[in-house]
Structure 1
């Protein structure tokens, strides 16, 4: 089965997961009340409740790292022990897997962006591959935290397109809908995936965490036919594939990789695959036992 098919199921499933608590409590979606005049349960009383910014699962608080940093900056104080632990748990889990796996497998804005990207290609609208450096989103994340400290409230949470989809469907909180509309217009007319690639501050935080990720795309240089199908498919930024495709490395090492599997699915020669762990940087033709694609490494 194609990885992209599995990923779509996970993305839609995550949206449905956050919609379940209000529905199970007898409420409606988008903040609409579906019950009668009788007393109904509060969705927060269930095992799971919340949003992608902040949620509770079996009594465990989960908080996205950027929201945690914004909140601490805005309040000029530390979070409660439970909130700090929840933010660290999210950061560690995504950091160990692949920081931007959140973007590829969970974030609803990326799901919408990929749909818009496909629609733009289908109708023949041509836009530049990139107009802003992908590392700009790290600076955007730092600016968001600094601005939150200056104005006294979490600025990204007030305009987050992620919240416009996630909270909007579940609770009717559509703050950030304007940002989402601007992103869709930019995707169609300005530059391919410019928000997710270069501007999203949460993506910037996960990009930094992604440098330690253990789920990585590895390349078999002998199998690669250099057709560039993987570069055409990559939603993160084709530039992250360059060292591996050029034979300078045996894996995609950049923290921007979303572990989405689009490149793996697109490769007609099956030269790309997922691999657990991070090897030392190596050249495939070096006689190096630590390089899995060198003569000695392949013999192990």
Structure 2
């Protein structure tokens, strides 16, 4: 009997994800506003002294933050500083390790799907491009290229003695621009938006972002995974069209070779889950076992 697609979903992961992305921006902005400072580097008030945001329990940016006196650092930023300075401080490891452990336990590229402001912006650009009817290439650059870009950033950071990606990071352009009025990375962000509109679908997040490449390298360890129910799938391809990371990461499950998406590229964003009309995909804990290999036919065994 053919299964009737169920188009109603009790939870829309995409809406929850967007709420988390916006909440992250507000979280970083809150200390400045609470202290009476302005955003975008704009001063407010008169000559009266105001408290320093850094004295509050939480303050910082996606590159460096302080929570209750505990410093947290972007691990890829730390690697760039180590490469550029040719030195290593043990404190840098302790400050970056909680971030690595957190995203490593969840799913490393969950940062890209649930926190990164560039991903939120590019989803809006993606919607605009579809509304304008602009056609772009689906995969102009291989998705694994970003790991090569990440390695190149570290090598060039060592060669130039400058933390290279931090100098033009579009993530900093959004995050630090809102908080402190920083213009570093704005040209990169503009180029990424133009590429998204006219060159390739999700080309920055899928194939070029070095931070995404770093998280992809450790991304297979996470416990939050997209699971697949082969019996429910109607092979409508809606999940592939919705995938923010890269449709190819769904190929093993859609071919029946696996029961969950194991690729380190998966952002656990839930877009494919929301798009599936038959609820063949779900977002949950654990990977599950790979399906057992089907036994060979008796005739084949006899011939062998």
Q: TM-score range by the shorter chain?
A: over 0.9
* Residue of structure 1 equivalent to 2:156: 147
TM-score by length of 2: 0.92
Aligned 8 A contact 2:227 2:281 in 1? yes
Alpha-carbon distance in 2 for matches of 1:228, 1:246: 12
Give the corresponding residue for 2:80. Answer: 70
CA contact (8 A) 1:99 1:209 kept: yes
Q: Distance in 2 between matches of 1:285 and 1:90?
A: 41
**CA distance in structure 2 between the partners assigned to 1:218 and 1:174 by the alignment:** 41
Q: Give the equivalent residue in structure 2 for 1:180.
A: 189
* Structure 2 residue aligned with 1:294: none
The answer to whether residue 243 in structure 2 is matched with residue 262 in structure 1 is no
Q: How far apart, in 1, do the equivalents of 2:282 and 2:157 lie? A: 41
TM-score relative to the length of structure 1: 0.93
Q: CA deviation at 1:79?
A: 2.8
Q: Secondary structure, in 3 states, of the residue corresponding to 1:137?
A: helix
Q: How far, CA to CA, are the matches of 2:292 and 2:31 in structure 1?
A: 51
Q: Which residue of 2 aligns with 1:227?
A: 236
Q: CA deviation at 1:280?
A: 3.7
Alignment pair present for 1:192 and 2:204: no
Structure number with larger C-alpha Rg: 2
Gaps of 5+ in 2: 1-10, 296-304
How many pairs align? 285
Higher relative contact order structure (alpha carbons within 8 Å, sequence separation ≥ 6): 2
CA–CA distance in structure 1, aligned partners of residues 264 and 201 of structure 2: 19
Runs of 4+ aligned residues of structure 1 deviating over 3 Å after TM superposition are 283-286
- 1:15, 1:166 within 8 Å by CA — same for their partners in 2? yes
Counterpart residue number, 2:301: none
Distance 1:85 1:177 in 2: 31
- In the other structure, the counterpart of 1:290 is none
Write the mapping of 1:105-254 to structure 2, written as runs, cut at 5 A.
105-254=114-263
- Please report the RMSD computed on the Cα atoms of aligned residues, expressed in angstroms: 1.2
Runs of 5+ in structure 1 lacking a partner? Answer: 287-300
Answer whether contact 1:29 1:169 (CA < 8 A) is retained.
Answer: yes
Q: Is the Cα–Cα contact under 8 Å of residues 250 and 284 in structure 1 kept in the other structure?
A: no
